[in-house]
Amino acid sequence: MSTAVVYVPAIAHNKPGHPENEGRIKQILPFLDQTGVLADTCLLEPVTATVQQLRRVHSPALIERVREVASTGGGALDHGDTYATPQSYDLARLAAGAAITAVDHIMTGRAQNGFALVRPPGHHAEHNRISGFCLFNNVAAAARQAQVVHGVKRILILDFDVHHGNGTQDIFYDDDSVMFISTHLFLPQMFYPGTGSFEELGNGFGHGYTVNVPLMPNVGDVGYGRIFTELVQPLARQFKPELILVSAGYDAHWQDPLAMAGLSLSGYAHLSRLLVELADTLTNGRILFVLEGGYQVQALSYGILNTFFALTGQDHIIDPLGTMPHPEQDISHLLHQLKRHHLIY
């Protein structure tokens, strides 16, 4: 079985000068093709998400808000810098539908794993609130598709975007069928969105199924690697998911203009390999990466490429940018707190 690829560059969803623009992944398929990595993949045609599929994760009011702003010529969708063009409603539905399409292929055995190369991104879109450049929550829509259509009982969503996945957390906060783990910079009042403290654990039946890893700047490759091996892997093994979904943001790279987390391309490649290996152990290989952030185009492109190497079982890592020129921060104290908090000994 091959790796499924679904591609929605959303070229008409574009605001000049905005960091989340059509240039981010406009050339990604030709770039990947030149490396030869696409030879081991299957390119799928995305199917637009239905309103019913979106209503599994969003309120009718949120969906109507996106449709209305787009239909009247576009404009601002929130009090920040989340925008719509006249084509954004259709393109955001297509991005969500692409993630759903990939899940359908993985869960029916037509693909082993996959990557939804889509925009606009989704992990900041809450049940009833648009934020953070995100219109519809692509990874959440894919998770509900797996549950409603394919009968999946337990899903792990791992978010390694540098920003907290507040939207995904909001949608599954009361839900014990989805474990949500987010690694992100946490500098309240200074760094978007300001949520994601380790005390945010879920509510009701969902208590304990939200796991936040709030990081200081310049954690770097060693710190991220320890988080995945000492925290993420044990929690995943306890939870025993049937499917792993990854909100794959490449803005934790040390050269990204919006953040300062300190990961290198080699560090990202290591995380991708750990997640693919985890899927091989726990889910019969079923894992889907869904693109979120990443605003330095070279880091984004090579980050995606190295993830494809992991998905297709190729023992390659390409890192033309090297490691960050700052000392990495020791996270031993934070890891001790988190492991005690989540009963990992």
Q: What is the pLDDT of residues 197-234, one digit of tens each?
A: 999 999 999 999 999 999 999 999 999 999 999 999 99
What kind and span of H or E run contains 185? strand 178-185
Residues near 256 by Cβ (< 8 Å), separated by ≥ 6?
162, 250, 294, 295, 296, 299
Active-site option among 13, 124, 163, 270: 124
The number of angstroms, rounded, from the C-alpha of 26 to the middle of its chain's C-alpha atoms is 19
pLDDT band at 189 (very low <50, low <70, confident <90, very high): confident
For residues 185 and 295, the answer to whether their CB atoms sit within 8 Å is no
Predicted confidence (pLDDT) per residue in 123-141, tens digit: 999 999 999 999 999 999 9
Beta pairing partners, 248:
291
When pLDDT is averaged across residues 141-169 and rounded to a whole number, the result is 98
Q: Which residue type sits at 258?
A: L
For residue 301, give both structure tokens.
């492109």
On average, the pLDDT of the chain sits at 97
Distance CA 253, CA 303 (A): 9
Whether the predicted pLDDT of 252 surpasses 80: yes
What kind and span of H or E run contains 288? strand 287-291
Whether the predicted pLDDT of 260 surpasses 90: yes
pLDDT band at 188 (very low <50, low <70, confident <90, very high): confident
pLDDT of residue 158: 98
Q: Where are the beta strands (DSSP E) in 191-286?
A: 210-215, 243-248
Whether the predicted pLDDT of 268 surpasses 80: yes
Beta pairing partners, 117:
7
pTM over 0.85: yes
Q: Assign residue 189 a region (left: φ > 0; alpha: ψ between -120 and 50; beta: otherwise).
A: left
What are the angstrom distances between the C-alpha of 15 and each of 18, 68, 81, 97?
A: 6, 18, 10, 22
pLDDT band at 166 (very low <50, low <70, confident <90, very high): very high
pLDDT band at 344 (very low <50, low <70, confident <90, very high): confident
Q: In this structure, what is the dihedral angle of CA atoms 126, 127, 130, 132, given to the nearest 10 degrees? A: 10
When pLDDT is averaged across residues 277-295 and rounded to a whole number, the result is 98
Distance CA 216, CA 334 (A): 10
What kind and span of H or E run contains 301? helix 297-311
What are the angstrom distances between the C-alpha of 203 and each of 116, 175, 206, 238, 245?
A: 30, 8, 5, 19, 21
Read off φ and ψ for residue 118, nearest 5 degrees: -130, 155
Note if 124 is an active site residue. yes
Predicted confidence (pLDDT) per residue in 15-52, tens digit: 999 999 999 999 999 999 999 999 989 999 999 999 99
Task: Delineate the domains of the chain, giving CATH numbers in brackets.
Answer: 3-341 (3.40.800.20)
With CA atoms as reference, report the closest residue to 6 among 136, 114, 139, 87: 114
Whether the predicted pLDDT of 1 surpasses 70: no
Residue showing tokens 């031993």:
332
Residues near 343 by Cβ (< 8 Å), separated by ≥ 6?
none
pLDDT of residue 40: 84
Q: Rounded to the nearest 5 degrees, what angle is found at the Cα of 114, between the Cα atoms of 60 and 214?
A: 70
Q: In this structure, what is the dihedral angle of CA atoms 145, 147, 152, 158, given to the nearest 10 degrees? A: 70
